Amino acid sequence: MNTIMRDITSGPTPLLENKRILLIVAGGIAAVKVPDLIRRLRERGASVRCILTKGGENFVTPLTLASLSGEKCYQDLFSLTDEAEMGHIRLSREADIILVAPATADIMAKMTAGLADDLATTALLATDKPVMIAPSMNVMMWTHPATQANLQILQTRDVRIVGPGAGDLACGEVGDGRMAEVPEIIAALARFFAKAQNRGPLSGFKALVTSGPTHEPIDPVRYIANRSSGKQGHAIATALNEMGAAVTLVSGPTQEPDPDGVEIIHVETAAQMLKACQSALPADIAVCAAAVADWSVEEAAQKIKKGSNAPALKLASNPDILATLSKPGKTRPALVIGFAAETENLIENAKLKRAKKNADWIVANDVSARTGTFGGDSNTVHLITAEGVENWPTLKKRAVAERLAERIAKFVERHL
């Protein structure tokens, strides 16, 4: 398809238009991302007020936040002018949502304990509005049992969490704890308001998603398979559903729980998966995230007994689900997305796959053993389109799914 795609971080977003966001900036190096976040939110029509903590002042200035937001930057709990008007109450009640970005281990602990020793924590304790946090800290701080226990408590109080991602940290270490990127935070806010309004940018559209491996039987007890866990495909189905799409998920054997609100069809073989996909058409969007086995075996009726010589297996090519769904015709989805799991020449092979399969986009990822992609919780992907290559940072698979869903929503907004 000859389409022109723009950066997902630009352009108006009706879901955020006229929304009032109270942004609390705590003391972490990720605070340097906040100016860009404010600018992007205002581009989408949102208004932003900022509370800057003492720690946050070490990374970004009040003047910067005030200039970009077009509002006063609030800092002092005991400001005579502001507190004459009960400033912390007014700030917390006039917002549609409170966003804490970055959310440090310290402020998360204070939120859990209900402390109120500065303007930020007082506003959080005084609010009756939804709260979302974007955690950011050293990997050891993030994985510490105290932080994880605080996280669980905050989630039970319906505090929304976005991120963190994995990657290089400012301290020089590598791992979880990197604050979600600006597009992930914006997408999370859009999903929140879409859900609150019982609508989403993909409402009225139908999506087909494949996930997991396929199992090709050799005999009644053995099979050929790929090493897919289904985590990425299931996360994509969930993200599309949360954006309002009617989702059919065709899944091979996996330990992942069935996503809520999604029609799911369980299959075992590639042939069964193709049949299920064809039965789910027509669809507006197809995302082929399943790791489909390339070959099948003529199945033996009984278990093959162990002998002195290994049996010869006669392999036959399986149907190509992505290529089949991408064929021009009345039932072809308007947007067909495939995955390229490679161990070498990642970008080159992904580009070749996109052309060969007639897919619109290819999501390429390195699945070498060293990456831990198969079965892991994080993924590093590259989006291949007709316009070029987008290199995404290492993210949780859930965050990858959310970013891809946001990208799909932008396509739908412009072309369908």
Q: Is the peptide bond before 259 cis (omega within 30 degrees of 0)?
A: no
Q: What tokens does 29 get?
A: 């190096």
Positions in the chain short of pLDDT 50: 1-12, 80
Please check whether residues 47 and 75 belong to one and the same domain.
yes
Bridge-based pairing of strands 97-103 and 206-211 is unpaired
Please check whether residues 186 and 212 belong to one and the same domain.
no
**72-127: per-residue pLDDT in tens?**
999 887 764 555 555 667 788 889 999 999 999 999 999 999 999 899 999 999 89
What is the predicted pLDDT for the residue at 260?
83
Whether 346 is covered by a domain: the verdict is yes
Q: Which backbone phi and psi does 168 adopt, to 5 degrees?
A: -70, 130
Chain-centroid distance, C-alpha 288: 16
Strand partners, 167: 175
Q: Which backbone phi and psi does 7 adopt, to 5 degrees?
A: -60, 135
Report the distance separating Cα 24 and Cα 100, nearest Å: 5
Helices (H), 31-160: 34-43, 62-69, 80-84, 87-94, 105-113, 119-126, 139-143, 145-156
Chain-centroid distance, C-alpha 367: 19
Report the distance separating Cα 218 and Cα 178, nearest Å: 44
Please check whether residues 224 and 123 belong to one and the same domain.
no
Q: Which of 142, 139, 136 is nearest to 179 (CA)?
A: 136
What is the predicted pLDDT for the residue at 54?
93
Rg (CA), the chain: 24
Please check whether residues 130 and 189 belong to one and the same domain.
yes
Domain count for the chain, please give it.
2
Tokens 């935070």 locate to 185
DSSP for 113-132 reads HT--SSHHHHHHHH--S-EE
CATH of the domain at 347: 3.40.50.10300
Interhelix angle 182-196/397-415, nearest 10 degrees: 70
**352-394: per-residue pLDDT in tens?**
999 999 999 999 988 765 666 666 778 889 999 999 999 998 8
Q: What tokens does 63 get?
A: 């003047």
Q: What angle do CA 95, 130, 182 make, to 5 degrees?
A: 80
Please check whether residues 267 and 145 belong to one and the same domain.
no
Please check whether residues 144 and 256 belong to one and the same domain.
no
Please check whether residues 142 and 234 belong to one and the same domain.
no
Which residue range forms the structural domain that includes residue 54?
A: 14-196
Q: Which of 254, 278, 250, 270 is nearest to 262 (CA)?
A: 250
**273-295: per-residue pLDDT in tens?**
999 999 999 999 999 999 999 99
Q: What tokens does 220 get?
A: 């009644």
Q: Is 18 left (phi over 0), alpha (psi -120 to 50) or beta?
A: left
CATH of the domain at 72: 3.40.50.1950
Please check whether residues 180 and 252 belong to one and the same domain.
no
In this structure, the number of other CB atoms found within 10 A of the CB of residue 106 comes to 17
Q: Which amino acid is at 301?
A: A
DSSP 291: B
This model's pTM is above 0.85: no
Q: What tokens does 312 get?
A: 């010869």
Q: Which residues carry out catalysis?
A: 171
Strand partners, 25: 52
**Residue after which a domain boundary falls, among 176, 196, 216:** 196
Q: Which of 180, 213, 207 is nearest to 378 (CA)?
A: 180
